[in-house]
């Protein structure tokens, strides 16, 4: 509780309550307002902002905002007391039928079941909190999200790259600077040093792909890395030493682990640290991977976002497929998790399917996902049954 100088209570400090903890709203003005807008605002102020990360806070805000818009559009009001289980189930079906984008072949991509379930989870957390803090009678139907079933998720499929695909991806990475060079007449002069586009950071992009392919790190884990976690952090030492690592990698469920770096990762990181990163450093730069300092809208300190890493990986896949004529080697859309699956399969093969090593290096102890990460790519699985 916050208090004035004479010790009188003034109410709770925003951002001090987890979503399922008690907050004293006894003296809150208009505490009986029968409005989704009012209660969503209170939930975000008291239980989300300052408690959850900025990225998660924004996601919760968007998801609850979508429910508010859908509900008010269907009923012409936003009275929270009228929300029942039927409306929550209806919103679930609305989300499941919502188009997300139109694919290149003209097909409409709908919202993924996992994304729909994520919306429902955030709505459930909101109503759980509101049921505890709202005055008696505001929710006559209790928690309307209770017993609303989640959508059934499709069986996960392996997404590891085949050995041939890995080979051509690494070939593209070896030549990545050439894809970003300026080709105008002034830049083709014999005495001119090859220049790249102002925002391009090919050495950084190569280091990110090699790191994810050689460690299985998730995109959020890569975005969260600081330079101080790299041991050694000196480029010359990275090239010389055979044992280098990233310490304290923060994963899901508040886990932390150490990952070792292979030769490709060490060399790529050394090149980036020596030739590109110094030009992007400012007084707040702690992150290992930085966005270009020439970007006006970059984050304070320059830390890349997980979405930026999606873009980096996707662009490498696009360049790869422009170079490859063999349909069997084409990647389609390359995603960060494809690199994680590839690492999981290759580590399983090289370690003799050592379960303890897989759990430790992948940072995921769930059997279901361990089996998924260690499934072979299609060309390997097809080869096993070719002559049976």
Q: SS3 letters for the chain?
A: CEECCCCCEEECCCCCCCCCCCCCCCCCCCCCCCCHHHHHHHHHHHHHECCECHHHHHHHHHHHHHHHHHHHHHHCCCCHHHCCHHHHHHHHHHHHCCEEEECCCCCEEECCHHHHHHHHHHHHHHHHHHHHHCCCCCCCCCCCCCCCCCCCCCCCCCCCCCHHHHHHHHHHHHCHHHHCECCCHHHHCCCCCCCECCCCCHHHHHHHHHHHHHHCCCHHHHHCCEHHHEECCCHHHHHHCCCCEEEEEECHHHCEEEEECCHHHHHHHHHHHHHCHHHHCCCCCCECCECCCCCCCCCHHHECCHHHHHHHHHHHHHHHHHHCCCHHHCCCCCCHHHHHHHHHHHHHHHCCCCHHHHHHHHCCCCHHHHHHHCCCCHHHHHHHHCCC
Closest to 165 measured CA to CA, from 337, 351, 317: 317
Mean pLDDT, residues 191-206 taken together: 79
Which one is catalytic: 218, 277, 298, 303? 218
Q: Supply φ then ψ for residue 208, to 5 degrees.
A: -65, -45
Q: Is 218 a catalytic residue?
A: yes
Please give the pLDDT value at position 373: 66
Q: Is the pLDDT of residue 177 over 80?
A: yes
In Å, the largest CA–CA distance within the chain is 86
Average pLDDT over residues 206-231: 94
CA distances from 237 to 114, 225, 231, 270 (A): 43, 19, 9, 8
Instruction: Give the pLDDT score at 296.
Output: 86
pLDDT at residue 268 greater than cutoff 90: yes
Q: What is the pLDDT, as a whole number, of residue 21?
A: 44
Domain coordinates of the chain in residue numbers?
11-133, 163-382
Q: Which of 49, 181, 337, 360 is catalytic?
A: 337
Handedness of CA 197, 198, 200, 203 (dihedral sign): positive
Q: Are 116 and 96 in contact (CB under 8 A)?
A: yes
In which band, very low, low, confident or very high, does the pLDDT at 103 lie, cut at 50, 70 and 90?
Answer: confident
Pick the catalytic residue: 27, 86, 199, 252?
Answer: 252
Which tokens sit at 263?
A: 């030769």
Identify the band that residue 183 occupies on the pLDDT scale cut at 50, 70 and 90. low
Identify whether 43 is a catalytic site residue.
no
105-149 per-position pLDDT tens digit: 788 889 999 899 999 999 999 999 999 998 888 998 889 999 999
- Its pTM stands at 0.66
The lowest-confidence range among 39-48, 121-130, 172-181 is 172-181
The band of 236, judged by pLDDT with boundaries at 50, 70 and 90, is very high
- Can 170 be counted among the known catalytic residues? no
Q: Give residue-wise pLDDT tens across range 325-384.
A: 888 888 888 999 899 889 888 888 877 777 777 777 777 655 556 666 666 766 666 666
Give pLDDT, residue 329: 85
Cβ atoms of 63 and 127 closer than 8 Å: no
pLDDT of residue 371: 67
Query: Active site includes 272?
Result: no
pLDDT in tens, 279-309: 999 989 999 999 999 888 888 899 999 999 9
Q: Catalytic annotation on 119?
A: no
- In CATH terms, the superfamily for domain 163-382 is Intergrase catalytic core (1.10.443.10)
Q: What pLDDT, on a 0 to 100 scale, did the predictor assign at position 346?
A: 85
Using a CB cutoff of 8 Å and minimum separation of 24, what contacts does 22-31 make? 22/132, 22/133, 23/47, 23/133, 25/133, 31/134, 31/135
What's the pLDDT score for residue 256? 82
Among the options 119, 303, 340, 361, which is catalytic? 340
373 is catalytic: yes
């Amino acid at each position: 509780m916050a208090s004035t100088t004479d010790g009188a209570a003034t109410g709770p400090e925003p951002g001090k309550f987890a979503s399922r903890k008690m907050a004293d709203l006894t003296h809150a003005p208009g505490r009986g307002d029968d409005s989704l807008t009012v209660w969503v605002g209170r939930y975000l102020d008291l239980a989300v902002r300052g408690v959850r990360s900025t990225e998660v806070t924004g996601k919760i805000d968007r998801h609850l905002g979508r429910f508010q818009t859908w509900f008010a559009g269907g009923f012409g009001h936003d009275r929270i007391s009228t929300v029942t289980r039927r409306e929550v189930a209806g919103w679930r079906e609305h989300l499941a039928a919502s188009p997300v984008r139109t694919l290149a072949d003209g097909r409409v991509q709908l919202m993924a079941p996992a994304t729909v379930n994520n919306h429902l989870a955030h709505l459930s957390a909101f109503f759980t909190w509101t049921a505890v803090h709202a005055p008696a009678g505001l929710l006559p139907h209790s928690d309307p999200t209770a017993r609303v079933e989640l959508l059934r998720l499709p069986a996960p499929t392996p997404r590891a790259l085949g050995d041939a695909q890995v080979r051509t991806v690494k070939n593209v990475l070896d030549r990545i600077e050439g894809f970003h060079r300026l080709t105008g007449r002034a830049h083709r002069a014999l005495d001119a040093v090859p220049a790249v586009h102002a925002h391009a950071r090919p050495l950084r992009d190569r280091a990110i792909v090699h790191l994810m392919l050689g460690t299985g790190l998730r995109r959020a884990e890569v975005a969260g890395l600081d330079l101080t976690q790299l041991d050694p952090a000196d480029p010359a030492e990275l090239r010389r030493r055979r044992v280098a690592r990233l310490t304290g990698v923060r994963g899901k469920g508040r886990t932390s682990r150490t990952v070792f770096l292979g030769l490709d990762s060490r060399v790529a990181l050394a090149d980036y640290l020596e030739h590109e990163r110094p030009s992007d450093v400012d007084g707040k730069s702690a992150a290992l991977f930085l966005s270009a300092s020439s970007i006006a809208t970059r984050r304070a300190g320059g830390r890349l976002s997980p979405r930026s890493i999606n873009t980096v990986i996707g662009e490498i896949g696009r360049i790869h497929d422009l170079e490859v004529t063999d349909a069997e080697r084409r990647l389609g859309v390359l995603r960060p998790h494809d690199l994680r699956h590839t690492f999981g399969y290759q580590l399983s093969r090289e370690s003799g399917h050592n379960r303890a090593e897989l759990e430790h290096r992948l940072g995921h102890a769930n059997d279901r996902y361990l089996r998924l990460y260690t499934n072979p790519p299609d060309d390997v699985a097809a080869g096993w049954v070719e002559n049976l």
